[in-house]
Amino acid sequence: MAEGQETNAVAERPVELAYRPTVGELASALRARARSTGAGRFQRGALVWTVAVTTVGALLSAAGSSHRDTPWPLYAGVVVFVAFMTAVPWLQARRLHRLAERQGDICGTVDDTGVRLTTAHSSASLDWHLYSRYVETPELFVLLSADKSAVGFVVLPKRAVADPEEVDRLRAVLDRRLVRADDAEAPGSPRSRGRAVGRGVASAGLLLLGLLLFFFAFAAVQHAAHPDRFPGIQNNTAPISAVMLGLGALAVAGAWWLVRRMTAMRIVTAVLAVLVLLAGGAILYRVGPMLHCWGSDRIARGPEGAYVCYDF
pLDDT for 263-301, tens place per residue? Answer: 778 888 888 889 888 988 888 888 888 888 887 888 888
Q: What is the pTM of this model?
A: 0.57
pLDDT classification of 213: cutoffs 50, 70, 90: confident
Of 90-94, 174-178, 185-189, 246-250, where does mean pLDDT reach its minimum?
185-189
Other Cβ atoms within 10 Å of 158 Cβ, number = 19
Angle between helices 263-287 and 190-220 (to 10 degrees): 10
Q: Evaluate if residue 2 carries a pLDDT over 50.
A: no
For the chain, first and last CA: distance in Å? Answer: 98
Q: What is the pLDDT of residue 6?
A: 41
Closest to 305 (Cα-Cα) out of 229, 211, 242, 225: 225
Annotate the chain with three-state secondary structure: CHHHHHHHHHHCCCEEEEECCCHHHHHHHHHHHHHCCHHHHHHHHHHHHHHHHHHHHHHHHHHCCCHHHCCHHHHHHHHHHHHHHHHHHHHHHHHHHHHHHHHCCEEEEEECCEEEEECCCCEEEECHHHEEEEEECCCEEEEEECCCCCCCEEEEEHHHCCCCHHHHHHHHHHHHHCEEHHHHHCCCCHHHHHHHHHHHHHHHHHHHHHHHHHHHHHHHCHHHHCCCCCCCCEECCHHHHHHHHHHHHHHHHHHHHHCCCCHHHHHHHHHHHHHHHHHHHHHHHHHHHHHHHCCCCEEEECCCCCEEEECC
Q: What is the pLDDT of residue 129?
A: 87
Q: What is the pLDDT of residue 120?
A: 82
Q: What is the mean pLDDT of the chain?
A: 80
